[in-house]
């Protein structure tokens, strides 16, 4: 599971900037599964995450979604722990801002 998460983030970093969130069996990932009242909310969240700068998006996915510690995520991304913390803080702020004003 750990290797899959790392490879996914690193692959997205190298490839096109299009974000996809794939969960094969949602019951396995109860912490990462979010429920929405309408499909529009899910689309808005995905669009907001996709619009984040790459470093912030990587930190958000590894720490916020997959639950890795800052030190683990920093090691996977090849950055300092402080940088990972800053990127996560930045990602949360940008995500909040974009969801409040609407991404579309």
Q: CATH number of the domain at 28, please.
A: 1.10.10.10
Q: Dihedral sign for Cα 40, 60, 90, 55, please.
A: negative
Domain that holds residue 29: 2-101
What is the Cα–Cα distance from 80 to 73, expressed in whole angstroms? 9
Q: How confident is the model at residue 98 (pLDDT cuts 50, 70, 90)?
A: confident
Task: Supply the pLDDT for residue 104.
Answer: 47
Cβ atoms 13, 45 nearer than 8 A: no
Residue 54 above 80 pLDDT? yes
Q: Number of structural domains, the chain?
A: 1
Task: Supply the pLDDT for residue 14.
Answer: 67
Residue 8 above 80 pLDDT? no
- What percentage of the chain reaches a pLDDT higher than 70? 66
Residue 24 above 80 pLDDT? no
Cβ atoms 87, 58 nearer than 8 A: yes
Whether the model clears a pTM of 0.85, i.e. scores above it, the answer is: no
């Amino acid at each position: 599971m750990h290797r899959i998460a790392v490879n996914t983030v690193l692959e997205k970093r190298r490839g096109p900037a299009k974000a996809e969130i794939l969960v094969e069996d949602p019951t396995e990932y109860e912490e990462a599964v979010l429920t929405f009242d309408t499909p529009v909310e899910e689309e808005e969240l995905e669009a907001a995450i996709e619009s984040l700068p790459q470093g912030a998006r990587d930190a958000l996915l590894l720490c916020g979604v997959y639950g890795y510690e800052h030190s683990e995520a920093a090691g996977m991304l090849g950055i300092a722990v402080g940088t990972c913390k800053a990127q996560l803080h930045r990602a949360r702020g940008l995500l909040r801002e974009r969801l409040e004003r609407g991404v579309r």
